[in-house]
Amino acid sequence: MKAFSYQNLPTRVVFGNGALASLNAEIERLGASSALVLCTPQQRDSAEYVARLLGSRAAAIYDKAAMHVPIETAEDARQVARQVGADCCVAIGGGSTVGLGKAIAMTSSLPILAIPTTFAGSEMTPIYGITEGGLKRTGRDPRVLPKTVIYDPVLTATLPPLIAATSGMNAIAHAVEALYAQDANPIISLMAEESIRALASSLPRVVRNPADTDASSDALYGAWLAGACLGAVGMAIHHKLCHTLGGTFNLPHAEMHTIVLPHSVAYNRRATQEAMARVGRALGGVEAATGLFDLAKSLGAPMSLAEIGMPDDGLEKAARLATENPYYNPRPIEREAILELLRSAQAGRRPTVADI
């Protein structure tokens, strides 16, 4: 076995149907007594429910969380946290809401208790992102890692199928790239393979019936593992491409990950055969790139970048931006081949056996 290092990240997880009932006990365990409850405008009802559960421990609700954490929102929320004297944040929602909690924690060190309601996995990572002047800055900071995560499958029952499907594929992308990360290690690889298996087998059932809590329980378990993978090891070409496309062309995050993933995997498959074998096995014994494409398609996800707003004449720019600085990838970064990858994703073509 190759030498490796492994860092365990210290998040406490409470998991299961009805786990939200432990909210007050978990807040007490954090030594907190005054929570700022964070949500998007769309999830105000869920935040109000959480505030009612918290009773006198709810300081206020802040309901302006938005995709990619605009700096103006982050600063506004930080000020509200100070004004109401919050000593912790409770973030109920997907990656955007958890991201707002992280932005507050970055400057205040307030502990975050996260209650994820999508499968994106941000709650398990020390990675933050803040958008300023049209540019998204990301980084790692141990202060932003949520101290506690409550996974309650009942809460994903209201997820629109498109968000369930694409946030789940976003989680699979974290697990796939963890398998061929530069600092991959056997523990994270175990978690990654199990994550892909859990998500691939449950997402079709979640999309068919969002109220199937057995299915969403498996999907949340997979999302947890995927987030832990993303938090523990570095990523490669797929996350680099999505960061570039999202930042420059403002494409919707989870859809973009869903569309690009099979093509990133096709790009890397000759260079990472063991990782590919594990992805294929986790998908139920299929080839990795085509298996991911077929899974996304079966979930009713958009399949081409063109249909989510990528302009044809932006592909060359995207390929240039994604290849101008060196970074780790198992296959060397070749601009022409990356442009070809992007053309396939733009058209929504199924990776072919000829590419294998």
Q: Which residues bind ligand NAD (CB under 6 A)?
A: 40, 42-43, 67-68, 93-97, 99, 117-118, 120-122, 125, 127, 129, 155-156, 158-159, 163, 167, 170, 230, 253-254
Report in angstroms how near the CB of residue 313 gets to ligand NAD at its nearest: 25
Residue 69 falls in which region: left (phi positive, over 0), alpha (psi -120 to 50) or beta? left
Q: Which is nearer to ligand NAD, 167 or 202 (CB)?
A: 167
Rg (CA), the chain: 20
Q: Which is nearer to ligand NAD, 152 or 287 (CB)?
A: 152
Report in angstroms how near the CB of residue 323 gets to ligand NAD at its nearest: 22
**Closest CB to ligand NAD belongs to which residue?**
95
Report in angstroms how near the CB of residue 161 gets to ligand NAD at its nearest: 11
225, 202 in Cβ contact below 8 A?
no
Q: Which is nearer to ligand NAD, 117 or 268 (CB)?
A: 117
DSSP strand pairing (35-38 vs 88-93): parallel
310, 302 in Cβ contact below 8 A?
no
Neighbouring CB atoms inside 10 A of 262's CB total: 29
Distance CA 165, CA 131 (A): 25
What letter does residue 250 receive in the DSSP assignment?
Answer: -
Report in angstroms how near the CB of residue 102 gets to ligand NAD at its nearest: 7
Structure tokens, 179 = 């398998």
SS (H, E, C) 272-317: CHHHHHHHHHHCCCCCHHHHHHHHHHHCCCCCCCHHHCCCHHHHHH
Under DSSP, is residue 331 helix (H, G, I), strand (E, B) or coil?
A: coil
Q: Which is nearer to ligand NAD, 9 or 60 (CB)?
A: 9
**Alpha helices of 71-185 — where are they, by DSSP H?**
71-83, 95-108, 161-179
Report in angstroms how near the CB of residue 11 gets to ligand NAD at its nearest: 12
Q: Which is nearer to ligand NAD, 58 or 115 (CB)?
A: 115
Report in angstroms how near the CB of residue 287 gets to ligand NAD at its nearest: 26
Distance CA 238, CA 289 (A): 13
Q: Which is nearer to ligand NAD, 125 or 264 (CB)?
A: 125
Report in angstroms how near the CB of residue 262 gets to ligand NAD at its nearest: 18
Question: Can you spell out the DSSP letters for 9-69?
Answer: ---EEEESTTGGGGHHHHHHHTT---EEEE--GGGHHHHHHHHHHHGGGEEEEE----TT-
Distance CA 277, CA 282 (A): 9
Under DSSP, is residue 255 helix (H, G, I), strand (E, B) or coil?
A: helix
Report in angstroms how near the CB of residue 254 gets to ligand NAD at its nearest: 4
Q: Which is nearer to ligand NAD, 83 or 107 (CB)?
A: 107
Report in angstroms how near the CB of residue 224 gets to ligand NAD at its nearest: 12
Q: Which is nearer to ligand NAD, 84 or 157 (CB)?
A: 157
Q: Which is nearer to ligand NAD, 73 or 125 (CB)?
A: 125
Report in angstroms how near the CB of residue 41 gets to ligand NAD at its nearest: 8
Q: Which is nearer to ligand NAD, 235 or 276 (CB)?
A: 235
Residue 213 falls in which region: left (phi positive, over 0), alpha (psi -120 to 50) or beta? alpha
